[in-house]
Amino acid sequence: MNHRIGRLLGAWMVGCAVLALAATYYQGVIADRLASSPANPRVANAEKSVWRGSILDRNGEILAESTERGLDSRVYRGPGSLAPLVGYAHLTLGKSGLESAMDPWLAGRGWSYSRIGLLSTISQQPDRGYSVRLTIDSRTQRACEAALAGRRGAAVVVDAASGEVLAVASCPWVHPALLESAWDTVIAREDSPLICRPLAGLYPPGSTIKPAIAGAAVDMGLVGSGTVYDCRGSIRAGGTIISDASGAHGNIDLETAIALSCNTAFVHLALEAGPRLPEALFGFYLSRSLPLEAPTAVGMLSGKASDDALGQLAIGQGDLVVTPLHMAMIAAAVVNHGVMMRPRLVAEIRSVGGAVVKRSSPSVLCVPMSAEAARIVAGGMRDAVEWGTARAASLPEYAVGGKTGTAENPHGAPHAWFVGYAQHAGRKVVLSIIIENGGSGGQVAAPLAGSIFRAVLSGR
Amino acid sequence: MTTGGRLCRRDAERSLVGIVMLLAGISGASLSLARSGSVFGWDTVLCFGAGTAFAAAHLVLSAARFDGDQVICALVAAAAAFGYASVLRLRADLALRQLSFIWMGMGVMAATALWQWKGRAPGSGMALAIGAAALLLATLVLGQERGGARSWIFIGGMGFQPSEFAKIACVLAGADALSTLPACEVVPCSSPSPSASVATNRVSLSQMWASRQVRRLFAIWLVIVAFTVLQRDVGTAAIIYISCVALVYVASGNRHVVLGAAGLGAIGVGLACKFFPHVAARFAAWSNPWADAAGSSYQVVQAFYALGSGGILGRGYGSGSPWLIPAAPTDMLFAASAEEIGLAGSVGVIAIYLLLISHAYACAMRSRSPRRQLAAVGTANILAVQVFVIIGGNLGVLPLTGVTLPFASYGGSSMVASLALAGILLGSTAEFGSASAQAVAVAPRGGGSDGSDSDVS
């Protein structure tokens, strides 16, 4: 009889092994998925019991705060054009933007989710979230918002030396308080008011890509400050002829080519550079998403090196698309001696008591061009504002440089671009602004730069 | 204690129960810390009080010169201490009731252990089974429905489930009747070659049927299982059925019985699915829990979320939200506690039952009396199947059934019946006929029945 009892014993041990394996599966293998599933009632309950942290601008102005525990009391106070960046935190709609990206801090579980056994019994769980102070300057933000004046478009301002993002204006927007009642209408809108255009909108850059191409060409040794190119008014790139609207520019150097936005000269440079050009542009982060605390879109830059593709690339058309932030960062590299700083949106994270838990610091993202190339390109952009295509951006009190763009697109009138920098008393700020289907960059976008630069640089 | 010198015969049990009491006190202290912020609170006292019940059981057994196994009591105490802390954490208002159930059950455990040890009358198993069948019939007529099963009898406001006690009766009746079979002759440890014992090792169905006792046993088992099914308590019926089939297999060595019973069981499950919609719903919820997560499989899915939220180390006592699972203190106790004690804790709980039941089978192998041996195997079978069915149900391995986790879940009938099973197991491990036991049994009993365990008798 004993061997039969032994068999039952064996069956029981197998049964226990099955139970232990099942427990390991649910508590080990897929535990994180189950724990964070939106259908897990603990997730919503945790929201209800936590006093969510605030989002502040760089001067401490409140952009979003909670007046009591739970998500229902969330109030958004900042400039409306920040709404797509800040996003929303809603019980049923979920979270987006910084509310989603910074959620672990705002909800007070910054270090780790509290699955630490008895230790969590002993330690008090925080019931107040951390507050997040951004690098955004509300004053600059409002200047951008005023410049966009309700038109579809985006503006982003970055401090070139530190990488701090000072303004991220996206237009149109919907105030988060209205989202719940108007959700169906909002998501059906063709102008996509929930997208944060400066970081996630993808547009053809048009002529604003030319400073990057100029920098790359200088570093390849194709052109120097003394080199002269004879512009005949048009050039053949593969099967297409690309021409200049203003006719032949004659003998021009690189700075003048930038100042006058000479298509012929840049197509010539692109054809000379060949396959090296797309490779050099990869170095400007164009084919990647810029690392930032909020979600950013991946730019698209095909590595095609046919003459047709190179011709389109030289004038920022074809299949190249970028975000306004990408263009601002290129201008930042130009004015910062060829060094692109890592862009930053979050200045610091503070506990309820005011103690700084985490602080961001400047760091170099990449070095897409040499200091010499940057100096030449910056000069060309300065010329463009002094007497070239971007004259409307000129300001008497600051050294402003820039580049306009008029980007053809399949959605109607061309997008109006201005990408530029302003220097004053050691500060270097860059602006990238686009008015969707606005028309000519020189006439529509460049005049908007003045008020924005004034707001940034006169602020201190 | 005047008789201390002679009580120390159960040294191992004393140490093990002491360790379990200490652990119970620690879990109570951490529960108290989580809820009231101080280490010494009501939770500490209550958990320690639950552990103390088994210290009392140890004292009773020592005083009675009981010389059976010394590990079982401590393992049962561990399961009960875990369960008590979990129930206390979930429903503080049930704490005193559950504590009284544990103490009551402890008394029943000690009593059944001594009853089984001192030589239970051969007819008592069948008498109990007939009584259980009568109670089940009464339940069918007079009983009340709770949670889809009509399995409750209320006497003056106190309810109990006769099906819990029917399990014990089935085991005892089975042990009594099946031990008369020729295959049950105990082979000494230095057994001859297996071929020599083949003749007596297997019993055919017709041979079994030839015995009047076995015929009566099968009839009463059939009646009990049928009544339990009619109460719509399919989970308990399945536990009794599987355990009894395994018992017949051990006693007869007849594999065809197992195969035939498995076939019959499959047909039975099919019929149950057809005639009881709640059984069919449980099967559907088991085969695809995510299909109707807000409806029929709500309980299972909530258990999954609790398990996942616990992770490896758990969220710690007081930090989880285990009450989100319906029926957490009874059917879903395993999943509910797993959230706060994590994988480490839930594997530990499985380990307690693994050790307890494996030890029970090992003790059964050592026994030299077929009747005791079968009683031990029968109780181990019931506990093993019930533990597997309910933990498996909590973990999505099996369809969820409304049975309790033995020794741990909240419930008076379940606690007392499980501890009575443990008592029978304990009593079956001792050799009453052996010389030393006899000598002790003749000696006058006295010092043990002092104040601390007077409430047992």
- pLDDT at A325 (0 to 100): 96
Chain A residues in contact with B307 by the CB 8 A cut-off are 23, 26-27, 31, 34
pLDDT at A421 over 90: yes
Q: How far apart are CA A422 and CA A403, in angstroms?
A: 12
Q: Which of A172-181, A355-364, B163-172, B317-326 has the lowest mean pLDDT?
A: B317-326
Contacts of A32 in chain B (CB under 8 A): 308, 311
What is the 3-class SS of chain B, one letter each residue?
CCCHHHHHHHHHHHHHHHHHHHHHHHHHHHHHHHHHCCCCCHHHHHHHHHHHHHHHHHHHHHHCCCCCCCCHHHHHHHHHHHHHHHHHHHCHHHHHHHHHHHHHHHHHHHHHHHHHHCCCCCCHHHHHHHHHHHHHHHHHHHCEEECCEEEEEEECCEEECHHHHHHHHHHHHHHHHHCCCHHHCCCCCCCCCHHHHHHHHCCCHHHHHHCHHHHHHHHHHHHHHHHHHHCCCHHHHHHHHHHHHHHHHHHHCCHHHHHHHHHHHHHHHHHHHHHCHHHHHHHHHHHCCCCCCCCCCHHHHHHHHHHHHHCCCCCCCCCCCHHHCCCCCCCCHHHHHHHHHHHHHHHHHHHHHHHHHHHHHHHHHHCCCHHHHHHHHHHHHHHHHHHHHHHHHHCCCCCCCCCCCCCCCCCHHHHHHHHHHHHHHHHHCCCCCCHHHHHHHHCCCCCCCCHHHCCCC
The rounded percent of chain A whose pLDDT value lies above 90 is: 64
Nearest 5°: the CA angle B139, B144, B147 is 115
For residue B398, give both structure tokens: 């099996």
Average pLDDT of the residues of chain B: 84
Compare CB distances from A27 to B316, B343, B362 and report the shortest one's residue: B343
Check if the beta carbon of residue A416 is closer than 8 Å to that of residue A389.
no
H/E run at residue A157? strand A153-159
Is residue B319 within 8 A of residue A120, CB to CB? The reply is: yes
Rounded to a whole number of angstroms, the distance from the CA of A42 to the nearest CA of chain B is: 7
| Contact flag A8-B318 (C-beta cutoff 8 Å) | no
Q: What is the CA radius of gyration of chain A?
A: 27
Q: Is B405 on the interface with A (CB under 8 A)?
A: no
Using CA coordinates, name the residue in chain A closest to B365.
A2
Using an 8 Å CB-CB cutoff, list chain A residues near B338: 23, 27
Residue B312 has pLDDT above 80, yes or no: yes
Question: Is A29 in CB contact (< 8 Å) with chain B?
Answer: no
Lowest mean pLDDT among A111-120, B16-25, B177-186, B214-223: A111-120
8 Å CB contact of A35 and B302: no
Percent of chain A's residues with pLDDT above 70: 96
pLDDT at B333 over 90: yes
Task: Tell me the CB-side half-sphere exposure of residue A23, using CA atoms within 13 A.
Answer: 30
> Is A122 within 8 Å of B33 when comparing Cβ atoms?
yes
Residue in B383, B428, B454, B436 with CA at minimum distance from that of residue B65: B436
| Residue B455 C-alpha, separation from nearest chain A C-alpha, in angstroms | 36
> What is the distance in angstroms between the CA of the first residue and the CA of the last residue of chain A?
94
Best residue in A7, A18, A26, A127 for a mutation probing chain B (most B CBs within 10 Å): A26
pLDDT above 90: residue A379: yes
A residues 295..314 contacting B (CB < 8 A): none
Half-sphere exposure of B18 (CA within 13 A, CB side): 6
User: Whole-angstrom Cα distance, residue B295 to residue B274?
Assistant: 20
| Chain A residues lying within 8 Å of B351, measured CB to CB | 16
Chain B residues whose CB is inside 8 A of the A5 CB are 250, 361, 364-365, 373, 377
pLDDT surpasses 50 at B192? no
In chain B, the residue whose alpha carbon lies closest to the alpha carbon of A118 is B316
Q: A373 with A386: CB under 8 angstroms?
A: no
Task: For residue range A279-301, list pLDDT tens digits in order.
Answer: 999 999 998 889 999 989 998 88
Q: B441 exposed, middle or buried (CB, 10 Å; 0-12, 13-18, 19+)?
A: middle
pLDDT at A128: 82
Residue A283 is predicted with a pLDDT of 92
φ and ψ at residue A42, rounded to 5 degrees: -65, -30
Instruction: In whole angstroms, give the CA distance from residue B223 to residue A117.
Output: 48
Model pLDDT, residue A72: 83
Across the A/B interface, how many CB contacts are shorter than 8 Å?
167
Check residue B199 and give its pLDDT: 42
The amino acid at A328: A
Tell me how far CA of residue B5 lies from CA of B2, B62, B67, B448, in angstroms. 8, 11, 15, 12
pLDDT for residue B384: 96
Nearest to B364 among A5, A22, A27 (CB): A5
Burial B335-355 (b: 16+ CB within 10 A, else e): bbbbbbbbbebbbebbebbbb
How sure is the predictor about B193, in pLDDT bands with cuts at 50, 70 and 90? very low
| Pair type for strands A165-171 and B149-155 | unpaired
Q: Does A2 touch chain B (CB under 8 A)?
A: yes
Whole-number pLDDT of residue B451: 37
Integer CA distances (angstroms), B272 to A44, A128, A344, B257, B267, in order? 39, 53, 65, 22, 9
How many Å lie between the alpha carbon of A24 and the closest alpha carbon of chain B?
7
Closest partner CB to B308 (pick from A13, A18, A35)? A35
Average pLDDT over chain A reads 90
Q: Does A49 touch chain B (CB under 8 A)?
A: no
Q: Considering the entire predicted model, what is its pTM? A: 0.70
- Nearest CB to B388 within list A4, A15, A30: A15
Whether residue B432 lies within 8 A of chain A, CB to CB, comes out as no
Cross-chain CB nearest to A39 (options B293, B373, B388) = B293
**What's the rounded Cα separation, in Å, for the pair A216 and A212?**
6
Query: What tokens appear for A369 in the block?
Result: 């061009």
Q: For position A123, what pLDDT does the model report?
A: 62
* A222 Cβ neighbours under 8 A, 6+ residues apart: A269, A272, A273
> Cβ of B305 and A35 within 8 Å?
yes
Q: Give the residue, A35 or A379, on which the prediction is more confident.
A: A379
**Least Cα separation, residue A132 to chain B (angstroms):** 26
Nearest chain A CA: its distance from B152 CA (Å): 30
A35 inside 8 A of chain B by CB: yes
Tell me the per-residue pLDDT of A21-50, one tens digit each, with 9 for 90 and over: 999 999 989 888 888 787 888 877 777 888
Are A146 and A93 in contact by the 8 Å Cβ rule? The answer is: no
Residues of B in contact with A16 (CB under 8 A): 350-351, 353-354, 388
The mean per-residue pLDDT over the stretch A104-126 comes to 64
Give which of A437, A440, A441 is closest to A420, Cα–Cα: A441
What per-residue confidence (pLDDT) applies to B198? 42
Distance CA B114, CA B98 (A): 24
- Identify the band that residue B337 occupies on the pLDDT scale cut at 50, 70 and 90: very high
Is the pLDDT score of A415 beyond 90?
A: yes
Model pLDDT for residues A186-204, shown as the tens digit of each residue: 888 888 899 999 999 999 9
Q: At A115, list the tokens.
A: 């699955």
Among candidate residues B306, B288, B304, the one with its CA nearest the CA of residue B296 = B288
Helix (H) or strand (E) holding A24: helix A2-24
Chain-chain contact of A5 with B350 (C-beta, under 8 angstroms): no
> Distance (Å) from the C-alpha of residue A18 to the closest C-alpha of chain B?
8
- Separation CA B235–CA B426 (nearest Å): 26
Q: What is the pLDDT of residue A121?
A: 61
Measure CB to CB from residue A16 to each of B30, B194, B354 and give the nearest one. Answer: B354
Torsion of CA A304, A309, A313, A318, to 10 degrees: -110
Question: How many residues appear in chain A?
Answer: 460
What is the pLDDT averaged over residues A337-354? 92
Q: Binning pLDDT at 50, 70 and 90, where does residue A322 land?
A: very high
Tokens of B232: 């719509």
Helix (H) or strand (E) holding A415: strand A412-424
Q: Establish if A122 touches chain B: CB-CB under 8 angstroms.
A: yes
Residues of chain A in contact with residue B395, where contact means CB-CB under 8 angstroms, are: 19, 22-23, 26
The answer to whether residue B446 scores a pLDDT higher than 70 is no
Q: Of residues B453 and A126, which shows the higher confidence score?
A: A126
Q: What SS3 state is found at A145? A: helix
Mean pLDDT of A396-419: 93
**Which band of pLDDT confidence, cut at 50, 70 and 90, is reported for residue B285?**
confident
Q: How far is A180 from chain B (nearest CA, A)?
A: 24
